[in-house]
Each structure stands twice: as structure tokens, then as C-alpha cells.
Amino acid sequence: MCATSCRRPAPSIPDDNFRMKYEIIERNAKHVDAIAKAVKDADTVLLATDPDREGEAIAWHLSEILKGKRVLKDKTLKRVVFYEITEGAVKDAVKNPRDISMELVNAQQARRALDYLVGFNLSPCSGRRSGGACRRAGCRARRLRLIVEREIEIENFKTREYWSIHFDSEKAKTPFTAKLTHFRGEKLDQFSVGDAARNAEVTGFLETHAKGVARVSEIEKKRKLRSPAPPFTTSTLQQEAVRKLGFSTDRAMKVAQASTKASHSARPSRASSTYMRTDSVSLSKEAVSEIRGYITKNYGSDYLRRPRSPTRAPRRTRRKPTRPSARPRSRAPRSPSRPTSTTSSASSTR
């Protein structure tokens, strides 16, 4: 019923077992009043907040507020939980209501108490080290761990010199760069050219024997099949927005929130999306069945793949998500007509 908590905790009271005192958030007061008004005309109240400890705490806050307003007299109040917004899942949840789980509520309150005692003091410090990204409580522990691990890597880092050799050339007045990967029958790895002397030896040999001209000896074309990328999660959505569009994470989430609201409006625009705050790409069996039926009916069974274990990408794709339109299916190197220069770059491995 409420996307965020309806009540704001004041600092916990250490002398009273860190008991939390709450007050209604001003901007949510109108929503609370609307819920209380609706409850007056109901016989049964079902609280269907998120199925996690935050959602459980919100349901508990609502029940406490409604008790304070004395609108629950002779009414039944229950908690329902569903993990997908489908007709079957919602009906099943309504058939199996339960009481509010105080274990989850207490777990959420304990975390909130730690936020006030420790987290809010630690957050500004870690936020400065991470450029101010993600100030929410759920990010603090992970962010602190990343900072510590990065500091350990920096302390243990040992500089090692390496060189890479490139040819700057052109084809039909289109410039391009080619990287030297083999030399005298030997495949070059990152540290094959490890100092300036070795770099001078290789480049000198190439300039002497090539006489300023390079030739394409072979063009190899391969057909590659690419599976569709998995749906976005919150993190992959932010990564792609930063990488492709140059958005900040805040801007990416604001645009995604606007598109989500547009999908629920009376006249949804083409730029609409489903709920974007999720770490899961799984689909319910009911939804998959409906989608497969739609494809079969409208496009034919030839366009329907054999079902596979759910809509998860291979491990390599999950680690580095990409969109299908970002790269072509096959790519052949262009034939250079003449090299204009040979360049070398020195780097230190990190």
C-alpha cells in the first residue's frame, strides 16, 4: 500500500533497549489518511507490501497507525505476500493470508537502530571515498567492503612496465589502427615487450623490413550466433545508462521511474518499462506460457525456441551485460593500403 515507510524513526533510546519512537512522514500523511478512510468501509484488511523485511515493517507500521486511529474495531487484518504480479499469484496470496511476522519487523528495526548508531556517521566518510554514489543504507556495508578491498589492492600493487605496438593506417581515406599481435612467429602477450630496448628492437625490425608498407595477408570471416540479452536488473540498467548514454546513476533511475509511471498511465508512451528495482530476471511460469502462446499465435512455431531454464543469461554475459544492438554479427578487418606511422605506447599494469 505504501512504497516507502509511512513513519520516520527518531533516534533510538539506549536506556530503553534501543526502542524506536516513530512519527508519520509529512509527505505520506495523505496516503495514510486515504488508507484509513478506505478501511472504515471494509470488513477485512489485507496488507500487501513488499515480501521482505522492509515490506513487513511497513505493514506493521500501517497496522499500528490504523490501531491508533481506531478504525480496526471488529475488522480482520492480515498480511498477504506474492512475488509476481499475475492473476494466479495474487489470488493464491489472498487465499493464504497470515499474521505480520514480528521476527522480520524486529530485524528491520535492528538495522534501523544500527543506522542511527553507526551507519549515518560512517556514510559520509565512505561516501567521500566513492564519489558520493549511493547513500542508501543497503549500500553502506558493500561500499565499505569495496573501499577496503581496493585499498588492499593498492598497497599490494607492484608496477610492471609493458609496451604495445600499433600501426596507424587508412583505407579509402578512413583511418584505423591495427595492433601488433605476433612477431617472428611468436604470439605477443601483455608483457612480451617489457621495456624500451625491446620496443626499439621490434619497431626497428618492422620499419627496416616493411619499408613503410603493410599488407593484409588474410581476411577471415566467421558467423556468430548471439542469444538475446537478459532483461535489465537495477544494476545492469545503471551500468548501461552510464556506459552508453553518459548518465549519472541518479539520472538513470529518475528516467526509469518516469518510464515506469508512464506504463501505468491511461495513455502509456512507447518509452515505458516495468518495475525497475529488482535483482531478478526470472519470469513466472504463467507469464512465460502467455508469451509463448502469443508468439505461436502471431508469428508461428518456427519463431519459438525450445524452453530453457529460466530467462537467465550465461555466466559470462551476467558478469558483463551487453545489448544485442551494440555489436554487429560478424566483422572483417579492413584492408590497409598504406601505413602512415608506427606508434608504441608504454603502460604500467594495474
**Angle at 330 (CA atoms; ends 325, 331), nearest 5 degrees:** 105
- 83, 275, 294, 299: which is the annotated catalytic residue? 275
* Strand 22-24, strand 186-187: pairing: unpaired
Task: Report in angstroms the alpha-carbon separations of 53 from 114, 129, 224.
Answer: 15, 29, 45
* Residue 83 annotated in active site: no
Q: Which residues are catalytic?
A: 275
